[in-house]
Structure 1
């Protein structure tokens, strides 16, 4: 029977079940695997033909020593967790899940933006701390509030998620521009493709929607920030390594950037010395844009279907 190993299922399966996976082979489930311990990873995938991973890295060293490995299923859209070149070299099929979370991440992107511009959470907290009851007026606020109408949203990357974010922005009467590595000739007439420098210069809000590659790591840094409008708002629901965190913290603390709202950081879980934790006007959520129950159920279903397709000899979503 085919040996299947799931390396890190807790974030997905703590409230979902995997009965269909049990029907496809001899399954071993792990809630968590130490991502920094190669010996543990190698021990757990020893003799496995099929490995399913969420965030446990499979680099060239690990792949080279996994002699029976034939298939890697990535439970997510980004595939930087796997050395794809090494997998191809060893004739291992790798699949991902391209669009399972598009709706959820687009929704969360705007949740972050609305929190920055509307400060709902902050003022709810202040009311519960009895700050409202102590003022003489019927209203009060302690941070600026902003309308989105007429503001320019710049999207770096224009894949499935960014396109959904663009539609939400259009409904808010925002101007939408985007930068994409390849031309997007079929973009909506109200969304304008521009160069990266044009996007940096024109945007009131910049939202990141590119995968992590050598070209996109630290794409937001001291140099690119210097090309932006003062008091720009930056959103990141993609990958933490897209932002140089030291440069960003400095820009926030010197009011060069008005606010950062991010669901991801370079090292996750976040380290206590991350400079963003003490930066001004910085909202950080713990990588939850993908996590609604409906989204995770969809992810589970597609993970199973990817594996079924591979076992039937007709793999889909191949990286």
Structure 2
């Protein structure tokens, strides 16, 4: 073996791809007959972008170079082949065929970025629409006592209404102030005129000890009540409790030295028979105008009056009332 001649077993013969190099071809390197050196395999090479998917390999046309030769390789790839992809023959041994085929994607394949963005946009619009509808329902409901979302988040409770708060009483809820109690005169506290006296023989008087005033049936007889503690000027009601039996009676009322405009009506409202004074107890009233402080009230029997009565009590109330 001489330098430059290493015999038949050259690296090109050992390299299954030696036939691809110029020096290998010069030394007689040949492509393997079994397709990349694998038994029963078939070698098919095509240019990049020309490989059909999902289709069975077709037989070479008439006059085409035999597969696996250098001429076939140059024809398939041109002057600068990038790679050679094997194709399996249908029903061949060894490698039974290509892996699962993937159908081509229409329009570039798979959902486009534009359609994905549109889906997100429609989803966002649906959320906004739901929020708007919820706000509209809450506004139409209009319950001002229902706490807002911020109040509930802060743990605040609804503000109580005035009717719920016992301490928030209004002027209308305040109790009407009771008028001051005015004086009351029993028979024993009255100043008696000439011929007038007190007695307790007839039952039914309400003064202390059942005492009443009698002897008022003669002209010129009278009783006087000096009233202290009148709170203010104004109209008042004078009540008189008395007993009349048989016919109706009336007496003259004098207020602070002036005769009242009408007689004090002392009719037999109880319907008692003649002399039955125990049954005839009843009451009457008049509306005098009094001044603040002390006032003088006098009942007298004047000419033309009917004065056959027993007088029990006198009392006052503020304003013009009937009971």
User: TM-score if structure 1 supplies the norm length?
Assistant: 0.19
Which of the pair is proportionally richer in strand?
2
Which of the pair is proportionally richer in helix?
1
User: TM-score if structure 2 supplies the norm length?
Assistant: 0.19
Pick the structure with greater CA Rg: 2
